[in-house]
Amino acid sequence: MEELDVTTLIARSLKNQGIQYVFGIVGIPIVELSVALQANGLHFIGMRNEQAACYAAQAVGYLTGKPGVCLVVSGPGLLHVTGGMANAQLNCWPLVVIAGSVSQDHEGIGGFQECRQVELSRPYCKYAARPASASLIDMHIEKAVRYSTFGRPGVSYLDFPANLLQSRDSILSSPQSNVCKKPPLVFPNPADVESAFNLLTVAEKPLIIIGKGAAYDRAEDVIRQMISASNIPFLLTPMGKGVVADDAPQCVSSARTTALQSADVILLLGARLNWILHFGRPPRFNTAVKIIQVDLCAEELHNSVTSAIAVQSNIKTFVHALSEKLYQRNFIFSSKSAWWLILETKREQNKAAITKLIQDETVPLNYYTVLHNIQKLIPKDTIIVSEGANTMDIGRAMLLNSLPRHRLDAGTFGTMGVGLGFAIAAALLCQKNNPQTKVICVEGDSAFGFSGMEIETMVRYKLPVVIIILNNNGIYSGFDQDTFEMLSNQGNPTQTLPPSALTVETRYEKMMNMFGLQGYFVKTIPELKEALGSALSSEHCPSIINIMINPTADRKPQSFNWLTESKL
């Protein structure tokens, strides 16, 4: 037997389960726990905002398959991370949240930061519990990790009252529970694979859509082989980008609207028919389309629309089984088909429209020329974090990915404020595993405002994240100096300034001066090239490049609004 502080017991149990990274902000009653985590070999990253800490922890979960931990104080601390918990749960990313809570003998009488934390957490997670005693902590931590990774990944919450955290207990010196195993593989029903093969290979206009579920499942190798061998056109969801390279010849992202509207059979690999894919309904989809839906989660099957074939399976195991049939029967979709001719024609038309925009270097700059030049300068293996309205949406098309899990954005929940937390997580993993990999965080000026002080976190931990702010003086769009002054001087600015307005030409890059570092203010393409080249050469500190964008710049004309109300 060995007598241990409960904080040491928690730290050892987390390490025993393979947890490496903990993000949070310390305070009563978790200060001692944060010290115990470091003493037992875990990495503790002190953040400036609990939401950003939660975003960083869940990004670790997505990028590694092993949950990061978000550690917060009681009451307001936990309330601040519920947005992050909801984001991870809807994104299906592994996350464990641990919070201290009011001492049990103070419950019900107005204890400091008293809050019904377990009940408050339940809507945002798969598992929420408060260990009743020190002897049960190891069991609950294993269960929290297992729930966060098994089945559809998600969030677990563990609550530790102050009196429990301050106690000691005698335990067996060896671990008291089994280490959480790897999630079991789910194999498809062979009959479903045969049906999918038969439907896909008779289609006149087949299409494959690859989602972030395929990226999380690390299915890139088998999917790349299948796409290359079959020559079937494909699209990528935003965080599915890189499972197959954006510049692969079969990628038809530049003809997305035509592909979705015209495809007669769609193979959906780890992507949900939610708002990102316009619910799978007309007018964005063919009214007669037949969908082959492959998802790890049985409850997701037939959601929004009834699929012709619904397969519960890991993406990797399904694609492997389907590929074998395609290879055995020597199926290749002809590049000379009418379908490929339609898609090629549309790709060329859209390319011509974009070319005009990227060649326009008129000041103030537009999004397309800025993003095009960023793309030309960054290494191909760069991890791209992006958030903001036009910045993120246009960036999906202009910033290419050739590797999986190299794009992180607002995701399924459309959460603003995720960017710097995601970037910190990515940079920490690169710092440990591949220091040569660059991390850039491409933000709108509004999005940057949610978590801008996390630059201090980056400085403290020597993380060379390049933060690029596309600054249009507003949310969606802004105003030039004369218009802004006219509106603000017409009366009380709370009534005359439009709600979307932000201050004109805010010098965000000067925040780097607080740390004795240099930021970059950019108005022209030559200035952008010089600033980005300099920022990318930094190895131990972050940079901010503040690029002024025309306040009225927008995306190229669309056939549909970006968020389409589907017609039943």
Query: 111: domain CATH number?
Result: 3.40.50.970
Distance CA(292)–CA(282), nearest Å, equals 17
Q: Which pLDDT does position 172 carry in this prediction?
A: 61
Query: Does residue 267 lie in a domain region?
Result: yes
The CATH number of whichever domain residue 275 belongs to comes to 3.40.50.1220
Looking up tokens 């300099």 gives 534
Q: Which pLDDT does position 558 carry in this prediction?
A: 58
Per-residue pLDDT tens digits for 392-405: 999 999 999 999 99
Residue 210 has pLDDT above 50, yes or no: yes
Query: Does residue 175 lie in a domain region?
Result: no
Query: Does residue 217 lie in a domain region?
Result: yes
Q: Which pLDDT does position 483 carry in this prediction?
A: 95
Q: Which pLDDT does position 317 carry in this prediction?
A: 98
Query: Does residue 179 lie in a domain region?
Result: no
Q: Which pLDDT does position 3 carry in this prediction?
A: 83
Q: Which pLDDT does position 567 carry in this prediction?
A: 36
Given CA atoms 437, 442, 443, 449 in this order, what sign does their dihedral have?
positive
Give me the residues paired with residue 208 across strands: 234, 267
Distance CA(188)–CA(311), nearest Å, equals 6
Query: Does residue 478 lie in a domain region?
Result: yes
Share of the chain above pLDDT 70, in %: 96
Distance CA(350)–CA(355), nearest Å, equals 9
Residue 554 confidence class, pLDDT cut points 50, 70, 90: confident
Q: Output the average pLDDT for the chain.
A: 94
Distances (CA, A) of 29 to 19, 47, 170, 420: 21, 17, 22, 27
Residues 451, 51 contacting (CB under 8 angstroms): yes
Torsion, Cα 379 380 385 391, to 10 degrees, reads: 90
Statement to judge: residues 128 and 92 lie in one domain: yes
Statement to judge: residues 369 and 514 lie in one domain: yes
Domain span including residue 249: 190-343
Q: Which pLDDT does position 563 carry in this prediction?
A: 58
273: tokens are 């028919």
Query: How many CB atoms sit inside 10 A of residue 476's CB?
Result: 12
Statement to judge: residues 305 and 439 lie in one domain: no
Statement to judge: residues 453 and 507 lie in one domain: yes
Per-residue pLDDT tens digits for 172-189: 655 555 899 999 999 999
Statement to judge: residues 414 and 284 lie in one domain: no
Give one DSSP letter per residue of 151-162, joined into a string.
SS--EEEEEEEH
Q: Which pLDDT does position 566 carry in this prediction?
A: 40
Give me the residues paired with residue 292 across strands: 267, 309
Residue 568 has pLDDT above 50, yes or no: no
Query: Does residue 354 lie in a domain region?
Result: no
Query: How many CB atoms sit inside 10 A of residue 500's CB?
Result: 14
Residue 559 has pLDDT above 70, yes or no: no
Domain end point (choices 284, 313, 343): 343
Distance CA(125)–CA(297), nearest Å, equals 16
Per-residue pLDDT tens digits for 402-461: 999 999 999 999 999 999 999 999 999 999 999 999 999 999 999 999 999 999 999 999
Query: Does residue 565 lie in a domain region?
Result: no
**Local structure of residue 407 (DSSP, 8 states):** E
User: What are the residues whose beta carbons fall under 8 Å from the beta carbon of 19, sequence distance 6 or more?
Assistant: 42, 66, 67, 68, 69, 96, 145
Averaged over 498-522, what is the pLDDT? 97
Statement to judge: residues 369 and 331 lie in one domain: no
Query: Does residue 61 lie in a domain region?
Result: yes
Averaged over 532-536, what is the pLDDT? 97
- By three-state DSSP, how is residue 440 classified? strand
Per-residue pLDDT tens digits for 39-92: 999 999 999 999 999 999 999 999 999 999 999 999 999 999 999 999 999 999
Statement to judge: residues 19 and 161 lie in one domain: yes
Residue 491 has pLDDT above 50, yes or no: yes
Query: Which has the closest alpha carbon to 288: 302, 316, 308?
Result: 308
Statement to judge: residues 24 and 152 lie in one domain: yes
Distance CA(340)–CA(352), nearest Å, equals 18
Count of domains in the chain?
A: 3
Amino acid at 20: Q
Residue 129 has pLDDT above 90, yes or no: yes
3-state helix, strand, coil in the chain (%, to 5): 45, 15, 40
Residue 562 has pLDDT above 80, yes or no: no
Q: What is the pTM of this model?
A: 0.95
Domain end point (choices 137, 169, 201): 169
Residues 447, 390 contacting (CB under 8 angstroms): no
Averaged over 497-525, what is the pLDDT? 97
Per-residue pLDDT tens digits for 352-384: 999 999 999 999 999 999 999 999 999 999 999
Distance CA(497)–CA(489), nearest Å, equals 9
336: tokens are 């000379």
Residues 510, 519 contacting (CB under 8 angstroms): yes
Per-residue pLDDT tens digits for 284-318: 999 999 999 999 999 999 999 999 999 999 999 99
Statement to judge: residues 160 and 223 lie in one domain: no
Looking up tokens 């993380």 gives 463
Distance CA(215)–CA(466), nearest Å, equals 24
Statement to judge: residues 370 and 337 lie in one domain: no
H helix and E strand count, the chain: 21, 19
Query: Which has the closest alpha carbon to 171: 408, 323, 2, 422?
Result: 2
Statement to judge: residues 338 and 365 lie in one domain: no
Statement to judge: residues 161 and 251 lie in one domain: no
The Cα diameter of the chain in Å comes to: 76
**Residue 270 phi/psi, 5° resolution?**
70, 30
Query: Which has the closest alpha carbon to 79: 28, 121, 42?
Result: 121
